[in-house]
Chain A
Amino acid sequence: MNLGIKPFKLKQKSVIPGFGITLGFTLTYLTLLVLIPVSMVFLNSAKIGLKEFWEIASSERVLASLKISFGTSFLAAAINVVFGLLLAWVLERYSFWGKKLIDGLIDLPFALPTAVAGISLTTLYSQNGWIGKLLAPFGIKISYTPLGIVVALVFIGFPFVVRTVQPVLESIDLEVEEAAACLGATRFQTFYRVILPELFPALITGFALAFSRALGEYGSVVFISGNMPMRTEITPLLIRTKLEQYDYAGGTAVAAVMLIISFILLLLINLFQWWASNRNR
């Protein structure tokens, strides 16, 4: 009697060849290059012992670096949501001269090596740089302060928000907006009540992507931050410093903390996307 339970099958039947060899190669390569190396962080952390691990992870300097990393990444991702949404909106809804060029250049932060972004932004925002010079009379210092870290993280993160919001904005039926307008909604009400809820999942995803990239960012920040312990030292830099002082146990413990945080973020992003795609069904 069939109880409606499907027998477990790893793979559905297909006439296309090559499943075994391609999946086999993919799994082998991933295991050798990603899974085994990444698990080394946890293996080595386990060797340290729980008490000592906790002592390293909760030491003043590590906590300060986590605070700086999280604070600046959060602020940068929030700024990116605002300006990323604005750019996506302008690119999708209005036509103006140079729009194609802007659209084509949005991905530059993805393509530009982080070290190049780092030295360029540091020079621009230092006290005699093009932009830093303009801000200096107001007593605003950007390079070598936490503000500089935020500038670098905004630079590397904003394409994430633009590129996740753009396709959603494009797919919103104009009829929905027209209906809202016909029912007497002002333009702002239509945006706030109709468009924004539609965009919400994309905005959250863009925020999360920009935030998780910002947390791990090293190349661009290391130049502009000035790297002062307790003040402008981000967590990846602290790992690097510990390694340079041959404190492998300390570096590994901090890396384990960072990895756990990025796994949790990855899980949350996936759960959220799953929720968002099932929400309307």
Chain B
Amino acid sequence: MAGIVPIQIKTAKTTQAERRAVKGSKLVPVILTTIAILFFVLMLIVPLISVFVKAFEQGANLYFASITDPIALKAIKLTLITIAITVPINTVFGLTAAWAIAKFRFKGKNVLITFIDLPFSISPVVAGLIFVLLFSTSHGLFAPLLNAWGIKIIFAQPGIILATLFVTLPFVARELIPLMEAQGTAEEEAALTLGASGWKTFWLITLPNIKWALLYGIMLTTARAAGEFGAVSVVSGHIRGLTNTVPLHVEILYNEYKFSAAFAVASLLTLIALINLIVKNVAHWKIQQQSKM
């Protein structure tokens, strides 16, 4: 299940005073903390900062020129369209799958969860390949049909959307299932007994209970849809201004040695990632507060 470890619900906490009893030598924590921070700064902070430093290396003018370049804008537009289509679909899927899995007991549940996780354990390149095998106009299973109707899926926008749907499929479901399982069905049962309809129960009881996890799931889906590289690169065909998403545009600029431009466009994706982390931490904090109540 690459890309996701569901938000954990914290339970009892030990106090600092209790901890001191088994802490031992004072030097060990200092050494361990130093090594951990060094590793963290070297592996994570430095790459993060370097994106922005490299983006502005040749001045703010070039930075804004790079992100407002017509081809860059076309890539941004394509990425936004992809997000606008894939995120709602996979949000609905995540909600329905989580409802079926978390609110009912049935046989084969674990197999179903494994299938939902499948896109996480498949290489992005293979994720792209499977849609080529289905919809390529030269080698695909549906090639005769597509050619007869003149529909293009591979090396066109529908292929990018299909591949993105595939790689972002598990996120919302995986965020919701553990939380909804932990919350149980008592509140919904009470509402139903009091005469509320199924829909009403969902809107007034379930949704408020899961809203933060849902928001984080949607955020993860959006970030991955914006940043997916491997799968999209296989199905897109790299037609400039037509089938280039933002990450693919970064690759082209980088391979043309336009490093500052590449990092300028990459910094936009980095900002999405940082917003993602903020939402995650707020959601985590809210869920903890909810579970305390």
Contacts and interface: CB of A to CB of B under 8 A. Distances in A.
A176 B166 CA distance: 45
Interface in B223-258: 223, 226-230, 233-234, 247-248, 250-251, 254
Nearest to A95: B16
B65 interface: no
Contacts of B96: 21-22, 25-26
Interface string B116-130: 111111111110011
Contacts of A259: 122, 126
A153 B100 CA distance: 35
A86 B40 CA distance: 11
Interface string B188-211: 110011000010001000000000
B262 interface: yes
A10 to B, nearest CB: 6
B4 A110 contact: yes
Contacts, number: 301
B121 A38 contact: no
A170 B8 CA distance: 11
B114 A270 contact: yes
Interface SS of B by simple majority: helix
A40 B133 contact: yes
A44 B133 CA distance: 8
Nearest to A17: B198
A10 B106 contact: yes
Given A94-B32, A248-B139, A218 B125 contact: yes
Interface residues of A, number: 105
Given A26-B100, A87-B40, A119-B262, A113 B123 contact: no
A38 B139 CA distance: 16
A203 interface: no
A239 B125 CA distance: 7
A228 interface: no
Q: Which of B18, B50, B136 has the most CB of A within 10 A?
A: B50
A240 B93 contact: no
Contact of A112 (B22, B193, B270): B270
A216 B251 CA distance: 19
A12 B123 contact: no
Contact of A215 (B3, B47, B123): B123
Contacts of A148: none
Interface of B: 1-5, 8, 10-11, 14, 16, 18-19, 21-22, 24-25, 28-29, 32-33, 35-37, 39-40, 42-48, 50-51, 54, 93, 96-97, 99-101, 103-107, 110, 112, 114-126, 129-134, 136, 138-139, 141, 162, 165-166, 169, 185, 188-189, 192-193, 198, 202, 220, 223, 226-230, 233-234, 247-248, 250-251, 254, 259, 262-263, 266, 269-270, 272-274, 276-277, 280-281
